[in-house]
Amino acid sequence: MDDPIISMKEPKRFSERISVQKESSTEATTLKKKENSDENVNEIGDEFDQPLQLNLSKKNKKIDKKVQAKEASSPDPEVFIIEAFICRNSLTKRLLVKWKGFPFSAATWEPLKGLPICEEVFKLFISREKALKNLYNSLTPKPLNYYEFPTKVHQQENRRTSFINKTPVYIVYCTSSTVGAKMISDLELDKIIEPCKNCVATKVTDNCQSMEQYFKESDIAYEIKPVKMECSDACNCLIKPCPTTIVKQGRKIPVIIFKTLNKGWGLYAGRTIEKNELICEYIGEIIDEADATSRNGNYIFSMDYMSGDDDSAKCHIDARKFCSEARFVNHCCNSNSEIHAVYSSYKNLDYHKVAFFAKRKIMMGEEITINYFNGI
């Protein structure tokens, strides 16, 4: 379903400037604030603290494709698109709206009845609320220690102030690692494996035939440690997308970044994850050994599939600033996920992706963990 759009003139006063564009043909995506009646939205509950419900009539689901194409080809600078609902305020009965093309700092609180019909955005918001509620209910309350609880008012205020003033986590979310020009030259990433001419892979456990042949020619016993070999876009694969490109296709499961009681931030499963299922890829800035040593960061992951036990990896992934959700996975000696090296395209065994796969069945609401010291 296309993104819902609203016509506005002042971004800071969205709720006061909602108007109709091409009302006769875009009823599903635009409407006047005063005309947002029960016919379009079934109140989504009189009590705002109740679960949201959306009941769209068949009439509202019909969209004029020609008008949409025309609007897409000539974007209006005064049209703002709803990208997501972040949270809701039960007291004021408003939703915090993230606008497409604007940073999170430009998000605004909008009254529910002043918003257009946006079924897919509502469904995503409701599913996230449900996942967070299930996660919260699954947590075991930490026993209170009455002996450590501050007995004086100023002590309680100091504790709360120190928590509020704590430096927030600042990251830039990325879906792929960044490689500098110098690293590309040093690693010779311009040399590509010959693509498969007739890939017959049917399972995610299959490997790219050309990459597998390159390993054999290099006399590498790749069966010893977990490794995956993905086909490139140039491969002639029988199935599209190729089953071997499980990491390239990206994360499919919902995950939740959550503040733990005693380990800082952590990553939790938004649904049940089956054994051997991909969780996420560890993404960041690709750096060499010299930079890794000088930075001495807590979020540097080594591409050490070929280094063995001598800890001599040539490439490292620094997820301190540029990262994915994998940055927040905590350590556990008895972890529920494991690290896999993932090779694709490049004719360089020292360069590979790093991905986390479920080692066993992980239940919804369970924290995702890896063993930092096992290596790849």
- Evaluate if residue 15 carries a pLDDT over 70: no
Same domain, 183 and 321: yes
Same domain, 256 and 125: no
Average pLDDT over residues 354-362: 94
Residue 151 lies in a domain: no
Chain mean pLDDT for the chain: 75
Residue finishing a domain among 118, 137, 156: 137
Question: Domain limits at 201?
Answer: 173-370
Same domain, 260 and 214: yes
| pLDDT band at residue 198 under the 50/70/90 scheme | confident
Strands 285-288 and 178-179: parallel
Same domain, 60 and 203: no
pLDDT in tens, 273-300: 999 999 999 999 998 888 888 887 788 8
- Evaluate if residue 245 carries a pLDDT over 70: yes
- Evaluate if residue 208 carries a pLDDT over 80: yes
- DSSP state, residue 31: -
Tokens read off for 196: 């498969």
Average pLDDT over residues 24-30: 36
Number of structural domains (the chain) is 2
pLDDT in tens, 116-134: 778 888 888 888 888 888 7
- Evaluate if residue 141 carries a pLDDT over 60: yes
**What is the structure's pLDDT at 77?**
60
Same domain, 196 and 132: no
Same domain, 328 and 267: yes
Same domain, 203 and 68: no
pLDDT in tens, 304-335: 877 665 567 788 899 988 899 999 999 888 99
**What is the structure's pLDDT at 7?**
40
Query: Which of 4-13, 98-107, 159-168, 337-346 bottoms out in mean pLDDT, i.e. has the lowest?
Result: 4-13
- Answer whether 106's CB lies under 8 Å from 12's CB: no
Same domain, 211 and 100: no
The residue assigned the tokens 């009681």 is 261
- Evaluate if residue 185 carries a pLDDT over 60: yes
Nearest Cα neighbor of 244 from 258, 256, 227, 260 is 227
Distance CA 259, CA 159 (A): 17
- Evaluate if residue 74 carries a pLDDT over 70: no
CATH of the domain at 339: 2.170.270.10
pTM score: 0.61
**What is the four-CA torsion angle of 298, 303, 306, 310, rounded to 10 degrees?**
-20
Same domain, 267 and 338: yes
Residue 73 lies in a domain: yes
Please spell the DSSP secondary structure of 205-252, one letter per residue.
T---HHHHHHHHHTT--TTSS-EEEEPPTTS-BSSSS-TT-TTTT---
Same domain, 90 and 198: no
Strands 108-111 and 94-99: antiparallel
Omega into 241 within 30° of 0, i.e. cis?
Answer: yes
H helices of the chain, in order, are: 65-73, 119-138, 153-164, 181-187, 209-217, 289-295
